[in-house]
Amino acid sequence: MKFENTGLEKMKAEINRLDDVMIEYGLVRAEQWDYERLTYDRKFELKEGVFYLRVRGHAVEGVVDSNKAVIQLMTPLLGKHYYPHGVEYGEGENFPTSLVNQCKKILEEVKTEVEKFAL
């Protein structure tokens, strides 16, 4: 599921500041990056299954591992994990309404924080 028009997809920010804000909201970069792209994930374990809120980005200046990169954020996603195949984001997926609302709230709060230092 895509969270369209959150405003995050229009933002660019320095990676160090972005990392600090994302971790405050449980969105972890961990090993989800390469030199040009990164992903912040927050895992939700519910009775309906395991879900991930995912905020992706790509470096428009520098490289991700330099800690000096400028990251262009992309449209956030919500996906359901299927073992052992991975995460599915498709239109046919069923996402609990309470989870969708919680993710929207998280994304709004992240946007408010990132706006303070966005480039």
25 and 109 in contact (C-beta within 8 Å)?
yes
Q: How far is CA 55 from CA 25, 47, in A?
A: 12, 23
Q: How confident is the model over 52-79, as pLDDT tens digits?
A: 999 999 999 999 988 889 999 999 999 9
Q: How confident is the model over 84-116, as pLDDT tens digits?
A: 888 888 878 889 999 999 999 999 999 999 999
Q: 8-115 has which CATH code?
A: 3.30.310.100
Confidence tier at 33 by pLDDT (50, 70, 90): confident
Write down the pLDDT at residue 68. 87
Mean pLDDT on 8-12? 96
Spell out where the chain has E strands.
Answer: 12-14, 37-46, 49-61, 70-73, 77-82, 86-88
pTM for this predicted structure: 0.93
pLDDT(36) > 80: yes
